[in-house]
Structure 1
Amino acid sequence: MSKSRSLWCGILTLVGFQLGMPVESAVAQVTTEVSIEGQVEDEKGVPIPNVSVRIDNQKISTRTDQSGHYILKLKSGKYALRFSFIGFQTKVRNADLTAGSLKGFHAVLQEDRSQLQNVEITGRKERSFKDGGSFSGTKTETRLRDVPQAISYVTKEVMEDQQAFRTIDLLKNVSGMNAFSSYDNDFVIRGFRTSNSLLNGLRNISQGWSSSLLPNIEKMEVIKGPASALFANTDAGGTVNMVTKKPLHENRKSVMLSTGSYNTTRVTGDFTGPIDSSQTFLYRLNLAYQNAGSFRQLQGTEDIVIAPSFSFIPDDKTKVNFELMYSRTNGRLDRGQPTFGEAAGLGQGSLYTTPISFAIGKDNDFLNETTLFSTISIQHKVSDKISLNASYMKSMYKEDLLEHRTSNNYAVDALGNEIPTLMGMRTTRRKTLYNTDNLTLYGVYAFNTGEVSHNLLAGYDFIQSLKPKDNNSAFNARGYRNAANTGAINNYRPANSANYLIVDGMPVPNVPHFDLTNPDYSFSEISEYFSLSEANEFTPTKYYVNGVYLQDQIKWKNLQVLIGLRKEYYVDVLNLDQQEEQKVKESAFLPRFGMVYTPIEALSIYGTYTQSYQPQGLSIISTNADNGGPFEALDGKMLEGGFKMELLEKRLAVNVAVYRIEQDNVLVNALDEDNEDLLRPVSQRATGVETDIYGSLTRNLSILANFSYNKAIITKSAVSSDIGDLMANAPRSQGNIWAKYTFTGLKTKGLGLALGANYVTKRNTLEETLQLPAYALVNAALSYSVNKFKMAVNFNNIFDKTHWMGGYDYNRVFPGTPRNFMTSIGYLF
């Protein structure tokens, strides 16, 4: 025995004697470090990652890894281990470590179905690429395989792996979805351009330019096809629903620091847990700051997100959630890459006449956007069969803009000949404010009629968007100077050349032309231009919808039927509260019918019919002859069928959908030389097939993959040459794969390797002679987790492929980002 050990034994003998303890008992109090480890699984033996393993009454805890394994190092003694995870019943097991370490101390958690909600108050249970349920398909929490409609999604785990920061970064992960431009919510879904979006199932009438920020987003859902039967007037191709992160019953805290290409610096934080010991009050706080440049000239943004949320759960009958989300983006408005015009005769080759970094603007341009959302949601169970639900969202969007941009045409000489290297310009100085209110009330009644079960839902929606007269101003300078140089004329007409100021054989522009061969980005003084806005104010507008709806989810044995009916009343007001006030009032009856048949547990076969509806609002399309209106509302319908499978012990989801969507009264520019505002309606049709795969092939290999084939064409038009043309920015085919392997070997534990690739076939633009080429990109990521630290590096567009995400015409195409990287280090506590 060593001298030091003899000394300690002597001291312990003395202490034991003084306390009246046996010598052996005193010696046993020597603090020996031991360990306990095991596996956490569900009832079917599937490992559960990220389970909280906590020692009761002590601040000692850990989490299971991707294979469900955990290990804790403790002092010898007796302990109570608490295993908890969202969606499962908490389990407590007593462990005796006085005799030494324990291995194989496993726990089996049972699913807690009582946590199902009608209004989403607390967060989702999964922490993987796969998600099991959704509120957006039926307005109550329903398994995705039981919803008779395709719903694609991207979970926050994919967002974290890909280090995505904006919504536009996620599009490749959704089948049949791509960008029309780089603007907010300007997407193409199943070939149809879409702009409407939801936030937690509430209509978000966004008027912003910048792609939405993701730091407080739990997952992005895409409801494929019309969703009007539940969410008012929506787009025919689909609707995006952003689900925010909700408070959790367990403590989780993380901080992430990131830096990468284009001088990007990013800091994010996510903090959640109970406020009190009874877990009656829960909180979550998401914070983010980013300062990033761009490969685009004059571009780059400074972004901030502050998003607190609180849940109050006084008992098992009542749940209340309050959320606040503040975001601000300061930068410039990127209108895309300008190229040589059609007169150059280069067609698709025009894309390469200017570098993808090329942009139009001036050094003193700016775009400052502020968005504020506040939401309160309440669920109360009157009984086991009846629940009442209410959600209200108030949102505000504020824009402060100065921009120099193309006027969507090229310079002309005095004879009207186009000069393809000189772009006509316009300048806008604008401040706008939009306020939106969204209220939804509904009740759910669960009952049986014999062997048939019903989940009957009845509800009411009110949606209102207001652009008030106050705080709205505009400066709009464009066109050509008149002969006296005292004002400007919007368009140049060669036949009336005497009315214009002509110098060196060219009409003088109100705002100087932009020379694509010799760009000038210097400071510009807008007071030198003539504004064409007489009152320098926007006309105040108001839009509101009242809707009532019924829905019944019927189940008999292996068959489920969904029947939905909605009656909607729409009002749009122009020149609000003024003598010239105009109103459009419309109504629509919107049915929805779907069936799901489950011949075996792993397979669901479904079919659905639903309709879309969207009025041609007065705030956009006037009823006077300038536009050619009034026009009928956008009217669409969809037939869809497919199957949904859960394989490999429900670790992997495979969804396949076949669809046909038709939409009438889509407005396009009539290309009238005498009236550039003139519009005309066309009809469109999309038919296609989609496949989405989510989940894990093995305990170590996670995968997200999708493929779509879509034929989206114009079927009716007053211009016969349009018929059969592919719709703008609607590729025939596109696909994506993202696979991550997490190593669990002794020497490589914590190491993760991800590889991904995505492709998009060629696409038309709004310009008949300009087509965007196909492209394929390769991405990769490497991560390493040790203790509570996580480090990662992502490489995007590894082979530096020049590509374009979308585009309008020769003067506005939107290039994708060249090769770039992002590194990060995070701490979980």
Structure 2
Amino acid sequence: MYNLYKKLLFLIVFTGIYALASAQEVVTINGKVTDESGEVIPGVNVYADHGNEKTITDQKGNFNLSVSKTTSTIKFSYVGYITTSRNINLNRDKITLNVSLSPTKSDLQQVEITGRKEKTYKNTATFIGSKSEILLKDLPQSVSYASKELIADQGAVRVGEVVKNFSGVNQFTFYDDITIRGFRINGGSNTQLINGMRTSTGFWKQPLANYLERVEVLKGPSSALYGNASPGGVINRVTKKPLAETRKSLSLSMGSYNTFRALADVTGPANKDSTLLYRLNFGYEDANSFRDLQFDKNVVIAPSLTFLPSKNTSLNFDLVYNDSKSRLDRGQSVFGNGNLYSTPQSTSLNTGNDRLNEKTYNVALSLNHRFSENLNFTASYMKTGYSEDLYEHRSANDYVYNASGVANTNLVAMQIFNRIRKRYIDNFSGFINYKLKTGKIEQTIVAGYDFASEKLPVGASQLTALSYRNAANTGSLNFVKADYDKNPTQYIARFLVNNGQLVPNVPAFNLNDVMGSQRMQDDSKNFFTQAAYDPTYYFLHAGYVQDNIKFGKLQALIGLRYEYYTDFANYLKPTEAKAHSKALLPRFGLVYSATQNINLYGTYVMGYTPQTASAISNPNAGGPFDPLKSNMIEFGAKTSWLDDHLTASAAIYQIKQTNVLYPANVTGQPDLLRAVGEERSRGIEFDVIGRVIPQLSILASYSYNQAMITDSPVASEIGIQKPNAPHHTANIWAKYNFNDGILKGLGIGAGSNYVDSRILSLNFNQTIPSYTLFNAALYYNVGKVQVQFNMNNITNKVHWVGGYDYLRLFPGTPSNYLFTLGYTFN
């Protein structure tokens, strides 16, 4: 509490010092912004060259801005127009300034060289759906995204908090673990992307998102572009890139559960001719949780450099380093009666000596060179390194049995993991981009080569303590109920029994004595065994070609990728052997421009994911398995309104996938997996994002998804909805800024999220209920300072974001708040 008071006092003093320093004379500037034809342009950003004074033009193109008399230049910027500067006369109190903006003639980038200048929720183009920048409306596939402005306005700091804005996307667990159109994708695999390159986030803890420009999801199989990936879609994290203009900001946040964060973002030219640009994002977090014994201490450092030696060549360097110290939260357990409300949502099964220390880095270098107006070459390399030091007490996914073979559903069976491991991911992408025009036909041809690999080197190891003590009390044994039932007396004689109870190797967690069970224990009395954690390695080579053909109102995107995948069984052992698989992956899409504002599209894509024992990093899973194969058919429409300030899209789709793995639920083999025949996902989605008027920004989405098993060796599974795949999700968020009058500088934000009920397990038919959350925010700008207050889950709705079963539930955060003070430097 003392530290909380110190942080609050610091924020108050900080605000007071600024208020005294900013008491200076001001100049009032008003005027109108038009284009070269004289048409007014609403929504233009008008801001002081040095400082945080800013506004936007109204529907009639008018603006009113008050700046300090230290300001000498006013800038006007808007997407699609050249940024214009005007000097002002400091000797006058009122100035009228009418400005005409010229449209930009710059081509779309082949790679994301410099930072995005847009300052709204809406994004115009993307790199995720093609190998170069493409307008979202021209991409024959659905994309959802959240810009840094939306992320900041919602006070979101994790990707798991951001994805609630996307249609058809929801959390699977606490972790970096997402469901897209009913299919699971997690950060522990290397099928997530950073700047279009394959990577892994470590899975257990989601890093801070302060270094991200936007988060975007390409819906459906993306193997034709990126290799093996989830059929539901792929998440791309786009890092902030350097800008050619100087911007510096600092924000300090404090809130519920002793949360404290400090974030900084500085960018600009590093030399006089702006051939070297820099950006540095820094984040620090020290936060507890509504969950017992949980905390997060994170440091994120993300520098970025862009070197522009000539107008035809660019070189980018990006690094994201994350150092995380925390405890691993395996979720909430309830009593065996199945009552979700029988234990507090705060109850975790940890003890005070648990730890999870993770370090992750992603370092990337990319080169782009333009040989001519029509020919470009791009090469990118990224390396990911991850290290884990874990010690945890967690459930053994069952209750404790007594000597009569009856489970005591008040006592959760426990196990201990002590694990150290590292993982490295390398990937390279090189491609050419050639533009060709033959009569009325325009083509953009992309041809390239990809290499990717993942290695778990020698040294990974895990000690595990679980099960029950043997009769001699010299080791541990698994209790198998089926074996007990065959001959109870003879079987139970193998175990140590005390007062009719089997003696657990690790003391059970008593749900009737939570605090007693959470106390630190002397684990030296437990019997530990070494779990198999052999080194693994795989790599892939891929070649692809893609042609984007435009003829009048019709565009066709045709692609073909050949991938050759090599996995090592028994890697680095005398019995080492290579396992190969290959795939030919087509992609075909059509876009028809029905009107200037409406594009209609259809697409067919195939997906492919090899899955052998080492590919899923667990030799105990029972592999090798046949590859996952998928395909998707999607039709949709993308529209823009209100002079392209507001966009809306709709999609209808069907995805099929075969050879999906599920837990085999074999006693004594908790990691064993089995394949079902086929899964199918069908649904519709709607997304709206942009500005209704210059002061009002909005984002809304809705999805209906029917994701189920359609073919399985177990007849009772056919027709069951896939785990953590809700039928309905919906979201809305809106923000209104007051730019005039006594409320000038004030902003109000509000929104709601709905997630339908979900099934947790195929075998127990366990479910979690639907929920609706309400969130709100207040903003106030005073010169260079912004004060922001976010309130989430205002009604304190009890809910669960996901889970595996009733012993591993993942409750959502109760009502919470966050107070943020931001400062923009000159």
Q: C-alpha displacement at 1:300, in angstroms?
A: 1.3
Offset, 1:94: 6.4
Cα distance between partner residues in 2 of 1:281 and 1:586: 44
Equivalent residue in structure 2 for 1:631, among 625, 628, 648: 625
Who is 1:521 aligned against? 518
Counterpart of 2:478 in structure 1 is 490
Structure 1 pair 340–96 and aligned structure 2 pair: CA distance change class (3 A)? closer
CA offset digits 1:778-821 (Å, max 9, x no partner): 11000011211100101100000000000101100100000000
Q: What is the match of residue 99 of structure 2?
A: 106
Q: How big is the shift at 1:109?
A: 4.0
Q: Residue 441 of structure 1: which of 402, 416, 430 is its match?
A: 430
Output aligned runs, 1:537-686, within 5 Å: 538-619=533-614, 629-673=623-667, 675-682=669-676, 683-686=678-681
How far is 1:424 from its partner?
A: 1.0
Q: In structure 2, how many angstroms separate the alpha carbons of the residues matched to 1:705 and 1:279?
A: 39
Q: Which of the residues 353, 363, 374 maps onto 1:374?
A: 363
Q: Does 1:724 align with 2:719?
A: yes
**Is the aligned partner of 1:139 residue 2:139?**
no
Alignment partner for residue 152 of structure 2, among 160, 173, 191? 160
Aligned equivalents of 1:292, 1:802: Cα separation in 2? 21
On the 8 A contact 1:49/1:127 being kept in 2, the answer is: no
Aligned residues of 1:48 and 1:66 also touching (Cα < 8 A): yes
Partner residue, 1:793: 789
3-state DSSP class of the match of 2:224? helix
Cα distance in 2 for partners of 1:782, 1:76 equals: 29
For the 8 Å contact 1:76–1:99, the answer to whether it is kept is no
Establish whether residue 473 from structure 1 lines up as the match of residue 478 from structure 2: no
Provide the residue aligned with 1:415 in structure 2: 404
Aligned residue number for residue 418 of structure 2: 429
Name the amino acid aligned to 1:670: A
CA distance in 2, matches of 1:764, 1:96: 66
Q: Decide which of 153, 172, 175 is 1:180's aligned counterpart.
A: 172
Distance apart, 1:720 and its partner CA = 0.7
- Among residues 278, 281, 291, which one is paired with 1:283 in the alignment? 278
What's the offset of the Cα at 1:119? 1.3
Q: CA deviation at 1:618?
A: 2.0
Q: Following the alignment from structure 2 to structure 1, what is the Cα–Cα distance between the partners of residues 653 and 248?
A: 43
Per the TM alignment, residue 222 of structure 1 is displaced from its structure 2 partner at its CA by 0.5
The worse-fitting range, judged by mean Cα deviation, of 629-638 and 640-649 is 629-638
Aligned partners of 1:674 and 1:403: how far apart in 2?
20
Write the distance in 2 (CA, Å) between the matches of 1:73 and 1:419. 70
For residues 402-421 of structure 1, the C-alpha deviation after alignment (integer angstroms, 9 at most, x for no partner) is 00001111111123222211
Q: Which runs of 5+ in 2 are unaligned?
A: 1-24
Residues 726, 555 of structure 1: CA spacing in aligned structure 2 closer, same or farther, 3 A cutoff?
Answer: same
- What is the RMSD of the two structures over their aligned residues, measured on CA atoms? 2.3
**1:399-447 residue CA offsets vs partner (Å, 9 max, x unmatched):** 1110000111111112322221111111011111111111100110001
Give the SS at the match of 1:253: strand
- Is the counterpart of residue 737 in structure 1 residue 737 in structure 2? no
* Distance in 2, Cα, partners of 1:316 & 1:654: 36
8 Å contact kept, 1:569–1:586: yes
The number of residues matched between the two structures is 781
Residues 488/87 of structure 1: CA separation in 2 closer, same or farther (3 Å cut): farther
Offset at residue 124 of structure 1 (A): 1.4
Q: CA deviation at 1:498?
A: 2.0
Residue 135 of structure 1 aligns with an amino acid whose one-letter code is F
Give, in angstroms, the shift of residue 582 of structure 1. 3.7
Which structure has the larger Rg over C-alpha atoms?
Answer: 1
CA distance in 1: counterparts of 2:146 and 2:631, whole angstroms: 26
**Which deviations, in whole Å up to 9, do the C-alpha atoms of 1:178-217 show, x marking residues without a partner?**
1111112x11111111123100000113433101320100
Deviation at 1:585, TM superposition (A): 1.1
Matches within 5 A, 1:327-346: 327-341=322-336, 344=337, 346=338
1:170 aligned partner = 162
Per the TM alignment, residue 754 of structure 1 is displaced from its structure 2 partner at its CA by 0.7
TM-score, scaled to structure 1: 0.90
Please give the per-residue CA displacement for 1:21-74, whole angstroms capped at 9, x wherever unaligned.
xxxxxxxxxxx98654434466664334445554xxxx6895444758364658
Change (3 A) 1:777 1:95: closer
Q: SS of the counterpart of 2:372? A: coil
Deviation at 1:171, TM superposition (A): 1.9
2:31 aligned residue (24, 38, 43): 38
Counterpart of 1:768 in structure 2 is 764
Q: With structure 2 as the length reference, what TM-score do the two structures score?
A: 0.91
Deviations 1:125-170 (A, max 9, x none): 3111110100000021000000000000011111110111111111
Q: Distance in 2 between matches of 1:147 and 1:526?
A: 56
Change in 2 beyond 3 A, CA 1:490/1:584: farther
Distance 1:566 1:436 in 2: 21
Q: What is the distance in 1 between the residues matched to 2:67 and 2:632? A: 58
Offset of residue 598 of structure 1: 0.3
Give the letter aligned to residue 84 of structure 2. K
**Counterparts of 1:800 and 1:167 in 2: how far apart (Å)?**
22
Aligned equivalents of 2:51, 2:218: Cα separation in 1: 42
